Amino acid sequence: MPVYKAPLRDQQFVLHEVLQAVEHVRQMPPFRDLDADTVNQVLEEGGRFCSQVLQPLNLSGDEQGCRFDAATHEVRTPDGFRAAFDQLREGGWQGLTADAEYGGQALPHVLQIAFDEMRCAANQAWTMYSGLTQGAYECLRAFGAEPQKAIFLPKLVSAEWTGTMCLTEAHCGTDLGLLRTRAEPQPDGSYRITGQKIFISAGEHDLAENIVHLVLARLPDAPAGTKGISLFAVPKFLPQGEGAQARVGARNALYCGGIEHKMGIHANSTCQIVFEGATGWLVGEPNRGLNAMFVMMNGARLAVGVQGLGLTEAAYQNAAAYAKERLQGRSLAPGAKSDRAADPIIVHPDVRRALLTARAWAEGGRAFSLWLALMLDQQHHHPDASEREFAADMMALMTPVAKAFLTDNAFDGVSQCLQVFGGHGYIHESGMEQLLRDARINMIYEGTNSIQALDLLGRKVLMDAGAKLRSFGKLVQQFITEQGSSLEMNEFVTPLADLGDKVQKLTMEIGMKAMSNAEEAGAAAVSYLRVIGHLVFAYFWARMARAALDRVGAAGADPFYRAKLATARFYFQRLLPETAYHIRAARSGAKNLMELEAELF
């Protein structure tokens, strides 16, 4: 049976020794009283909840799946899910970062991301029931009218009610300009919403008393395309009463038409939701619904990247444990002897390659995602306007990288770990094939990874002539300059500097080509994102190596630091060279993709 232990030691290393996260957030007025002990206590309690409550439900939840009753349109979640959700509610975990005025704990996002990693590793399907609720809270907090905030936000923070986002329709996925759901204004200021949405994660379930759907729809006089989309809050049950005292009232005119039968995340109900003149309320301005929804979508994209990170960590832990116990073959090391008929497979070089690949993806992704969470806190709370602006630029630039790079790496890392198990990884009982199936969706939803690549190159880099990318480059260059005279850092700093130079040249080359042929950017985008992802990882792996070197020579030093340095060397020598392929592929241009006539495919 699969196991999971929260990676508290590594999270604490990144937070306290690499990022100095507490010192950083204490510069922000809401978090001036935060200390390292509080951070550690939250992580320890969160890790205990994830490993003891959520992880034991992961395999059984996948086996059982969700059950849809076509007569009542209701969905039952797997056994144990509701009790676990009650514990989430009782522990106040849903409101970790929410404002105190709505019942939240008002802690920094860096703690939320650390907790999210653990719960995604333990049980991604269960986590999704509350994950989108967080995004719904952020969206309504930013764009909701005061009466909407007063009713919905306390309920979402307490997890009495959950939230979804309803974007996709059967005839349109990412191209939201094609959506047909209608919103008819009513005399009382509400709207009647009519249409059908598909692929709605956690769209119907038995975990909370109400579900607040955030729905994209068109007003009668709306212009065509994305400029004519508005956003509406449409609850499953209409609120009765005002403010935080509101309770569920009459059933709204919407229902679940069915649940999808999916490759993975079987324990999360992915629903078809039918709106038949359901009552909803406009969120934000008419015809500017995407502006409001992007608050939720960007948060979801970062969350999906963290889902990939969590699955990578879970797969690595199980594969490493298996490799130490499974006896097969003999060590090829000179002079290796054993009285046993076979050695544990951890002695074999290629098994180690697979394990170190997953480990390097997980630990690099952890440093990146926690830094990005710090940028999110800085964007909203830093007293210096220039620091807020820098953080906003980093969030814009790095959100597509986090979503795509972390989930691509997850599918690779989990696949490598399944391979360690051999045939035992391919059967259900090990839990590895479930992790691989679950990991595959993360590359698709919230905007496919190819769309993330187009967003990165087209909108986040070329549109501002590389200004945001140069801002990140200054961080990299500052670190390189600081470490330039350190001989022990040469093996990490030299390849980092080399890649930084190559990124500058590659960006300029693609930009020049795209000026005369936009398809050049489309042809290069996926490889370009892989290169940028490695620039980010190389930077954080170099920073982690520096922090480990500062400790590894001390008397009684924790072996943790030797392991960190070994993994850093593996990353730079075995994984970073992938950039040579992707730089060459990006430079090869659009012709080799576009010259074959469509009818010949």
Pair type for strands 270-283 and 230-235? antiparallel
Is the Cβ–Cβ distance between 251 and 201 less than 8 Å? Answer: no
Tokens of 500: 């930084």
Lookup result for tokens 């959100």: 399
DSSP state of 406: H
Q: Can you tell me the distance from the alpha carbon of 107 to that of 7, in angstroms, rounded to the nearest whole number?
A: 20
Pair type for strands 161-166 and 247-251? unpaired
Pair type for strands 67-69 and 74-76? antiparallel
Tokens of 527: 């490889």
Is the Cβ–Cβ distance between 586 and 524 less than 8 Å? Answer: yes
Q: Which of 169, 204, 446, 520 is catalytic?
A: 446
Number of other CB atoms surrounding residue 237 within 10 Å:
16
Residue 153 neighbours by CB under 8 Å, 6+ apart: 98, 99, 102, 137, 140, 141, 144
Tokens of 598: 């469509």
Tokens of 13: 């290393």
Q: Can you tell me the distance from the alpha carbon of 586 to that of 106, in angstroms, rounded to the nearest whole number?
A: 44
Q: Phi then psi for 230, rounded to 5 degrees?
A: -120, 160
Q: Can you tell me the distance from the alpha carbon of 269 to that of 82, in angstroms, rounded to the nearest whole number?
A: 13
Lookup result for tokens 């995004």: 135
Tokens of 485: 């005279």
Q: Can you tell me the distance from the alpha carbon of 472 to that of 535, in angstroms, rounded to the nearest whole number?
A: 10
Q: Is 45 a catalytic residue?
A: no
Lookup result for tokens 């004519």: 228
Catalytic residue ranges: 446
